[in-house]
Amino acid sequence: MESIEPDFIQDSLSGISTGQEEPILRIENLSISFGSNPVLRNIDFSIFKGETVAIIGESGCGKTVLLKTLIGLHKPNTGRILFDNKDLNELSYFDLARIRTRYGFVFQQAALFDSMTIRENIAFSLVQHTNKSKKEINEIVERLVNEVGLSQQVLDKKPAELSGGMRKRVGFARALALEPELILYDEPTTGLDPIMSDVIDELMIAAQIRYNVTSIMVTHDMKSACKVAGRIIMLYPFAKLAETEPQIIFDGTPEEIKKSKTPQVQQFLGIKNTG
């Protein structure tokens, strides 16, 4: 099936604003356990408007649990998540649902609705959460399909008729539909070939430029993390920590992580570089 390169990933990638006046998201003393199994302990960091942050670490370190906690799907045992200075744990179900409309989500397997067309998938949040007319919604959907580099011909197809990379782009378009302030990416390049992985990376960069969106990506892909993110946070599995050791073992720039002398960081980078 024909696809076209996004017309806007050729835009200049310079001049990205990190907007560090105040954090859009604060994680304070966050700890999570499932039964008697602790997963996250005393996690503290802030994310500022316009930042792109990659959260990395080996399997079992709590990356996905942390991502789900950031949208209120898991409640912490201790600590809190503040989005735009609002504690997610203190919000009613209605207020939490309203806050989530300010988020965008790009799931690992795209998570499209199989029974819906691509047009209906991208339009879903606009239909559910806005009063826009059908004409307005269609115009937004068609613009977004173009932005993610897909032909208008895909709009009336079902997800099963598209390749994995194309479904990922549709998921990306759906995440942008409400022009969110914060986008969460769960392993955005997993299962993609190097060329398509690079396209997804460019889409994330271009979204930051065009919308000045704040982005958090959970990934094992160090090439992607270093290309897209201005900041990398590395978690270490709780089970491997001594009682006094922090779970965040690195928080810095891609250039800094490459120079890190922390053995666990060096080992992780070595595995990725030789994998």
165 within a domain of the structure (yes/no): no
Helix (H) or strand (E) holding 46: strand 37-48
The C-alpha atoms of residue 95 and residue 106 are separated, in whole angstroms, by 22
**pLDDT tens track for 168-220:** 899 999 999 999 999 999 988 888 888 888 988 998 998 888 888 999 999 98
Structure-token pair, residue 222: 């160090």
118 within a domain of the structure (yes/no): no
CA distances from 45 to 79, 107, 117, 260 (A): 12, 23, 39, 19
pLDDT-based confidence at residue 227 (cuts at 50, 70, 90): very high
Burial of 41 per CB tally in 10 Å (0-12, 13-18, 19+): buried
Which ranges in the chain belong to alpha helices (H)? 63-69, 93-100, 118-129, 134-147, 164-176, 194-211, 222-228, 254-258, 263-274
Q: Is 80 exceeded by the pLDDT of residue 21?
A: no
pLDDT-based confidence at residue 274 (cuts at 50, 70, 90): very low
Q: What pLDDT, on a 0 to 100 scale, did the predictor assign at position 202? A: 92
What is the pTM for the complete model shown? 0.84
Mean pLDDT across the chain: 87
Segment 38-49 shows an average pLDDT of 93
168 within a domain of the structure (yes/no): no
Which residues pair with residue 248 across a beta bridge?
A: 235
CATH of the domain at 67: 3.40.50.300
186 within a domain of the structure (yes/no): yes
Q: How many domains does the chain have?
A: 1
Domain that holds residue 36: 14-102+181-197+212-275
269 within a domain of the structure (yes/no): yes
152 within a domain of the structure (yes/no): no
